[in-house]
Amino acid sequence: MPSGILPSVGLAAAQVAAGDARRQKLQAEIGLAEADGSRAEPAAKLQKACAGFEAIFINTLLQEMRKTVPDDGFLPTSNAARTWQQLFDNQLAETLASRQEIGVAKMLYQQLQQGVHEKK
């Protein structure tokens, strides 16, 4: 078996695990908000879900952009470096989403709010 296959499988597994962890965290936050019952306002839950979606969206964009950068061999890449890069991208996505400057969460929130009002 070529030695290059195993590192890429490990990196893919780490990326899937990081994505699963983010989804589970978002689902847990939504579940906690639902458990609060009347104290949690539906609009606040929707905003939190939209912000979580924006973080996942930004992380996906970062991953896809990194795929376009050729590995010219100038700097050696290891599994540790790739894992660190993935963790960095996850944190960067969370930070960018929390700043609310990109606007995906805001637009999604507005669209979903309109849908909720139309159903009533």
Burial class (CB in 10 A: 0-12, 13-18, 19+), 93: buried
- Decide if pLDDT at 42 tops 50: yes
pLDDT score for 30: 65
pLDDT score for 1: 45
- Decide if pLDDT at 66 tops 80: yes
pLDDT interval class at 40 (50, 70, 90): low
* pTM summary value: 0.61
User: Among all chains, which residue has been given the structure tokens 């905003």?
Assistant: 47
* Segment 11-39 mean pLDDT: 64
pLDDT interval class at 64 (50, 70, 90): very high
Q: Which of 8, 90, 114, 94 is nearest to 54 (CA)?
A: 94
pLDDT score for 35: 57
- Identify which has the larger pLDDT, 39 or 61: 61
* Segment 73-83 mean pLDDT: 82
For residue 80, what are its two tokens? 């540790």
Q: Where are the domains of the chain?
A: 5-119
